[in-house]
Amino acid sequence: MNKPILRFISIGLVLLLPQLSWAADPFSLPALSVSSNDDGTQSYSVTLQVVILMTMLSFIPAIIMMMTAFTRIIVVFGILRQAIGLQQTP
């Protein structure tokens, strides 16, 4: 195929492809809302509940690791290795 024709077709495709996204239906995110109930409790929207759940799931392993003695032992061994002058791993 001729090089100028191929260049013209590729430029035309690049200019026409964004129009496909304009033709799509607009997507709206649900609102983040906190509402108070009559008995004094609060209810959160599903989106906010998912954000809180994902945050908790990402922090739980770190909290469990910090509660065990493993972290303290590793820190003490690191200080001890530095104190006696052992070589770091290459």
- Residue 1 lies inside a defined structural domain of this protein: no
pTM of the model: 0.42
Is 23 within a domain? no
Q: What is the pLDDT of residues 45-60, one digit of tens each?
A: 888 888 899 999 999 9
pLDDT, one tens digit per residue, over 27-38 is 776 777 788 888
In 1-90, alpha helices (H): 3-16, 18-22, 46-67, 70-84
Q: 34-36 and 42-44 as β-strands: parallel, antiparallel, unpaired? A: antiparallel
In a domain, 2, yes or no: no
Establish if 66 belongs to a structural domain.
yes
The average pLDDT across 63-83 equals: 86
As for how many domains the chain has, the answer is 1
In whole angstroms, how far apart are CA 72 and each of 47, 81, 85? 37, 14, 20
State the residue range of the domain holding 63.
Answer: 43-90
Q: Is residue 37 part of a domain?
A: no
d(CA 12, CA 54): 43
Residue 47 lies in a domain: yes
